[in-house]
Amino acid sequence: MSSLVVFSVPKTGAGRVLPLRESNDFQSRSWLRPATVRCGLRLEVQESGNHAFMLGMGFVGQFLGHQLKEEGWKVSGTCLSEIKKKKLEGSGFEIFIYSLEDYDSSRISTSYGFHHQESLFTLQDATHLLISIPPSVLHFHRDLIWNRLKNGRVHWLCYLSSTSVYGDHGGYWVDEDTPPKPENELAVARLEAENAWINLGCDLGVHVYVLRLGGIYGPGRSALDTIIKQGPLSKDQQRRQHRRYPPRIHVADVCQAIRASMNKSSTWNVFNIIDDDPAPRSEVFSYARSLVMQRWPDKLDGISVDQETLNQHAQTGELIEEKRVSNNRMKSELGVELLHPNYRSGLESIARGYQLR
């Protein structure tokens, strides 16, 4: 027999999303409010099994999915291709094809339309929903998702966003209460998606979280992998090495923060998820090169940094969105103790587990 405990708290209007506008003048969108709201909660104690649904079974989705599956959860998710679907099914996940690009309401009866309906139908059974598809799922499928979740078992949902919503702050500190000022269309879309998911979660009366992530790295996706598998950095990668305070986070710590948000009932919806050390990428790559040199020196043969490109960018003084992002709320409210508080710890653990193929 399942038991149900319901708490209903009046919700505030703060952070409510306003209708999307057609204007391209995104920097003047003063109606974009920081998505830091408290909302009413329907807390459910459910005795039947946990079922996580990952809208987007990417790097984070898979890392978390494996953890949850080992603990006996049912894990479902979506991806873009049949090849990946088969691979993930081989690991024991229930997988659906779901692609925003393919969505077209006039073709809802085509095979793609069927895929969408089929994957979203399964949402009804999910107890936890993680959204790791970049914006904007709700733009296309809000009604479908609302209907599935409203009649379903979900009691926690989490949208993975990015610290890019803060924009440029000239190297000064920002935290979750800093009004976002996204400086490109993708960041604007992320902020709109944050608000839309918070509103949906509040309307459903479920726990809803927005996690603003720094650059995610981990096994298979790190400076070590770039050096070993890719070789010399591309011009764009070298250009990005000039950022002074790029926020980053190890995937294991992303998952730790997600798990903490599942297990705690916080009054806040929005959290920055980053480590303690926003070191420049050039420093990270330099450390990664030293690790490769110690362990696999032959992998560095013929690889050198294009010093000329580095100098050119240094001379032009090009600035890329600079800010230092606080992780205090993540620690104090979610109780996260970082497994990898800096890139050195993260890279060393990746190097230890690295299997050269």
Q: Alpha-carbon distance 161 to 198, whole Å?
A: 12
Instruction: For ligand NAP, give the closer residue by CB, 77 or 205.
Output: 77
Minimum CB separation of residue 264 from ligand NAP in Å reads 21
Least distance (Å) between residue 257 CB and ligand NAP: 12
**Spatial distance between the Cα atoms of 198 and 34, rounded to a whole number of angstroms:** 11
User: What tokens were used for 159?
Assistant: 């949208």
To the nearest whole angstrom, how small is the minimum distance from the Cβ of residue 196 to ligand NAP? 14
Which one of 37, 75, 133, 270 is in contact with ligand NAP (CB under 6 A)? 133
Residue selected from 38, 50, 121, 134 as contacting ligand NAP according to rule CB under 6 A: 134
Q: Does 80 bind ligand NAP (CB under 6 A)?
A: yes
The residue (of 57 and 262) whose beta carbon lies closer to ligand NAP is 57
**Maximum CA pair distance of the chain?**
69
Interface segment toward ligand NAP; rule CB under 6 A; list 112-120, 126-134, 285-293, 304-312: 126-134
Name the percent of the chain in helix, strand, coil, to the closest 5. Answer: 45, 15, 45
CA 330/CA 341 separation, integer angstroms: 13
182 close to 216: Cβ distance less than 8 angstroms: no
Q: How far is the CB of 207 from ligand NAP (least distance, A)?
A: 19
> To the nearest whole angstrom, how small is the minimum distance from the Cβ of residue 187 to ligand NAP?
10
Residue in 16, 46, 100, 322 binding ligand NAP, rule: CB under 6 A: 100
Least gap, CB of 191 to ligand NAP (angstroms): 13
Q: Does 174 contact ligand NAP by CB under 6 A? A: no
E strand or H helix that includes residue 128: strand 128-131
Assess 112 for contact with ligand NAP (CB under 6 A). Answer: no
Which uninterrupted H or E stretch holds 30?
none
Give one DSSP letter per residue of 239-278, joined into a string.
Answer: HHTT-SS--EEEHHHHHHHHHHHHH---S--EEEE--S--
Residues lying near ligand NAP in the complex (CB under 6 A): 56-61, 79-81, 84, 98-101, 132-134, 160, 162, 213, 215-216
